[in-house]
Structure formats: C-alpha cells, structure tokens
C-alpha cells in the first residue's frame, strides 16, 4: 500500500467537500439498498465504519490530505456546534421522567459504567503494557479513550467533540474508532438477542413489565399528535437555530478564553483555555435551554435529522486523518475496550437485578449510551416498533450528558494516563 504523497493530488477544498459528500451519498444509498449484495455486505460492515473508511483511503493513497485541506476545520467549528444544538433542543425532560425511575436509573447506570470503566480498564491493561501510561503528547492513549468515552456517552458528535477538546491525534483516534465499531457491534448483537427473548428473561428475573404497555400507548399517541410534513420555513428555522446558537457560542468563547487565560492560567489542564471547549459546552447548554421552549417542536419536522446530516459530514472529514495501515495496532486497544464494556455491562446487570428492571430498560439504557440516537431506536423497536421513540428520547439525553460526563471521564483518564 503506497504512502501518502508529500502533496495530495487534490488540494481544492470545494472539490474535497464534493468528494466527501458523494462518498456519504454512496454509503447511504448502498446501505439502504434492497439489492442482496449490499444487504449482505452491510450485514457485516457497519455503514458508520464505511463513512470513516472511504475518506481514509483518500488520505492513505495521497489523493486528499487533512494537513492541507481546511474542510475539517470548517466542520469542526461550524457544523459540530450546530449539530449539538439540533440534537439536544428536542429533549423532553418531562417525557423522559414519565418513562419511570427505572428507565432513568438504568440509563444513568450505563453512563456511570462508561465514566469509571475507562480509567479502570486503562489501569488493568497497563499492568501488561506499562508503556500505555506516562505519555503526554497527542498520541497518548488516554486522549483517544476520552474521545471513545464521548462516543459511548451520547454518540458520534460527542466523540468528535472530545477528540478536539483533548487533542487526540489522528492515529490514536483511528484506533479508538476501530475499537468503538468492534466492541459496540458485539454488544449490539447481544442486545438483539435479549430483545428476541425478553419475555423469558423478564419472567426469570421477576421484573415488573406492566408499565411497558402504558409506555407503548403513550408513545403511539405522541407520534400521532406531533408528526407533520415539513415545509421550507421549518428547515430555515432549523438552520437559523443551529448556526445562530453556534455563532453566539463563538462570540461568548472569544471573551471567555482570554478571561481564563489571564485570570486562571492554572486551569489550562481542564481545557478551560480551549475555545472549542467553551463552544461545545455553550451550544449544549443552549440546546438544553431551548428544549424548554416551543423551539423543541422543530424536532417534529426533522431538526435531529438535519443535525445528523452535519454529523456525518464531520465523520467524513475526520476520516481524512486516518491511515488504514495503522489499524494493525488495534488489538492491544481492543482489550481495553472489552474490559471497559464488561464493567459497563456488569454494573447494568447488578443494578437491574436490584431494582428488578425489565430487560428493555437495561437494553435501551445501555444503547442510548453506547451508540446514541443511531442505534438506540433500533434496539427499542426490536422489543416493539412503537418503542423506537423511547430510544430516541434516552439517546438525546445521552447527547446532553455526553459533553459533560465524557469530559469528566477524560479528566480521570488524564490523571491515570499521564
């Protein structure tokens, strides 16, 4: 496999963006195709992995280079903030509370499992490979794990956010993307098995499932009352909110960063001198505030879908930093991911057994963390089609918490890893 060229073949950013858009279009077209070849292919190769992998080939073969292109900078500072706003403004805290304490407890248990599981996994594996500790540069494993924590508490947008906040380089990020894909999909297969056998599992555990039927009826009524066909004005409102909030966050960050640099220089290690850190925290907070207003009704016309489209452009630009020849180093880190996931799962089962939670709450609570809005609805609908929005609700809560909790996990990893 040839090494990247000193100067890439394509340096025009408009052309780079066009190529990335075409690749994303191809992935989405083929992954939704009914052709047996594509159905078989995507049965084993996740579409998300293709969104990373195809752009990485452009870098590996010297066609495009992220070191030359500025497309990823635009995506990072403009699309990422807008994406986070649109993914959090639809959160309905009252509706989530109405799901019952057990649903929230299992979701938060999954979050805590990720936060503490990462540092514990790093400590355990460092006994075998002590060279994983004591690294402070951008290639430090703890930085890549902080990005993975973002993915496992919310989803791809939070992963990209943590990557930038903690400065993980392309190499360690590529490895963690591989770990994310491998481990998360293994757990996905287990959860689908639970969904297929949930009645037997709940009967054996003695879980009270009477609330599930009420939940199904409520979700179906909510869908009937709020769904409508989007109009042009709706999309313009969505764009206005997304980029308007991003602009306000940029403006505030321009004042906050110098303030903390001058008055609190010691807080640099907590990312408080990073402009992107403040932008991400501010847009997430703005999204949460808007969720208490009528603005949250934009979700009924596709606010999260627009946000997700921004997210996949971000995914593709990150792929430009990848060199697939470096993935051979992943097995060492897959062990970290396995131990990390085991801690998350064991904690869920312990708490679930104590509170006698239905396996549905465990599965969706976990997947709302490990996978976010892309896969939590899939797991929820595997129990019952009308429960898919429940997965979305909890996943949106994961988006909201992801920025904060993954940052905390990153700080714990920093203490151990460096």
Which region, left, alpha or beta, applies to residue 4 given φ > 0 means left and ψ of -120 to 50 means alpha? beta
Q: Which two tokens stand for residue 277?
A: 């850190």
Q: pTM above the 0.75 mark?
A: no
**Among all chains, which residue has been given the structure tokens 């599981």?**
117
Tokens 């936060």, located at residue: 115
Nearest partner of 401 among 353, 368, 363, judged by Cα: 368
Q: Which residues, including other chains, have CB under 8 Å from residue 188's CB and lie 6 or more apart?
A: 367, 371, 375, 379
Q: What whole-number distance in Å separates Cα of residue 313 and Cα of residue 304?
A: 14
Residues 156/314, Cβ–Cβ less than 8 Å:
yes
Residues 150/398, Cβ–Cβ less than 8 Å: no
> Domain extents for the chain?
1-66, 70-213+225-417
Residues 6+ apart with CB under 8 A from 249: 81, 278, 279, 282, 283, 286
Place of tokens 């949106």: 396
In the structure encoding, which two tokens stand for residue 320, read together? Answer: 């430009």
Degrees to nearest 5, angle at CA 323 with 320 and 325: 160
Joined together, the tokens standing for residue 52 give 């990373």
* Number of alpha carbons in the 13 Å side-chain half-sphere of residue 350: 10
Count H helices, E strands: the chain? 19, 0
CA atoms lying within 13 Å on the CB side of residue 333: 25
For 271, phi then psi, to 5°, come to: 70, 10
Task: For the chain, 418 residues long, give each residue's pLDDT as a single digit of tens.
Answer: 444 446 888 989 999 999 999 999 999 999 888 888 998 888 777 777 788 789 888 988 889 887 788 898 888 889 988 988 888 887 766 666 666 788 889 999 999 999 999 999 999 998 888 888 877 788 889 999 999 998 898 777 678 788 888 888 878 888 888 888 778 877 877 887 888 788 888 888 887 777 676 666 765 675 567 767 889 999 999 999 999 999 999 999 999 999 999 999 887 766 678 888 888 889 888 988 998 888 988 888 888 889 888 888 887 887 887 766 655 666 788 899 999 999 999 999 999 989 888 898 899 889 888 876 656 766 777 787 657 667 767 777 777 787 789 889 999 999 988 7
Q: Which pair of structure tokens corresponds to residue 263?
A: 């008055």
């Amino acid at each position: 496999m040839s090494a990247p060229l000193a100067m890439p073949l394509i340096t025009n950013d408009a052309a780079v963006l066009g190529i990335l858009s075409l690749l994303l279009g191809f992935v989405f077209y083929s992954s939704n195709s009914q052709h047996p070849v594509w159905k078989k292919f995507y049965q084993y190769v996740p579409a998300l992995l293709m969104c990373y992998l195809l752009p990485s080939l452009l870098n590996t073969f010297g066609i495009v280079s992220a070191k030359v292109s500025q497309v990823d900078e635009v995506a990072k500072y403009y699309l990422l903030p807008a994406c986070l706003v649109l993914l959090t403004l639809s959160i309905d805290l009252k509706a989530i509370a109405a799901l019952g304490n057990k649903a929230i407890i299992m979701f938060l248990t999954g979050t805590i499992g990720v936060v503490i599981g990462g540092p514990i996994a790093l400590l355990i594996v460092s006994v075998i490979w002590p060279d994983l500790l004591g690294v402070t540069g951008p290639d430090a494993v703890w930085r890549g794990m902080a990005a993975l924590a973002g993915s496992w508490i919310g989803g791809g947008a939070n992963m990209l956010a943590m990557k930038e906040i903690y400065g993980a380089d392309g190499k360690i990020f590529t490895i963690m993307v591989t770990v994310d894909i491998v481990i998360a999909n293994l757990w996905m297969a287990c959860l689908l098995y639970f969904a297929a056998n949930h009645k037997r599992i709940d009967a054996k555990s003695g879980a009270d499932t009477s609330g599930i039927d009420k939940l199904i009826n409520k979700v179906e009524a909510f869908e009937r009352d709020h769904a409508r066909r989007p109009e042009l004005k709706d999309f313009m409102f969505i764009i206005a909110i997304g980029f308007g909030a991003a602009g306000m966050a940029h403006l505030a960050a321009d004042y906050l960063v110098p303030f903390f640099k001058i008055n609190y220089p010691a807080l640099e290690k907590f990312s408080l001198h990073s402009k992107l850190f403040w932008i991400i925290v501010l847009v997430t907070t703005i999204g949460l505030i808007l969720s208490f207003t009528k603005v949250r009704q934009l979700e009924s016309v596709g606010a999260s879908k627009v946000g997700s489209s921004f997210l996949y452009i971000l995914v593709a630009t990150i792929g430009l930093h990848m060199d697939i020849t470096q993935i051979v180093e992943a097995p060492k880190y897959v062990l970290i991911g396995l131990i990390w996931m085991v801690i998350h799962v064991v904690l869920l089962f312990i708490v679930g057994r104590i509170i006698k939670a239905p396996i549905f709450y465990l599965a969706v609570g976990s997947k709302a963390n490990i996978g976010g809005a892309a896969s939590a609805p899939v797991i929820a609908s595997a129990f019952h089609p009308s429960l898919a929005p429940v997965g979305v609700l909890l996943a949106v809560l994961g988006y909201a918490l992801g920025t904060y909790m993954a940052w905390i996990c990153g700080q714990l990893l920093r203490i151990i890893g460096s």
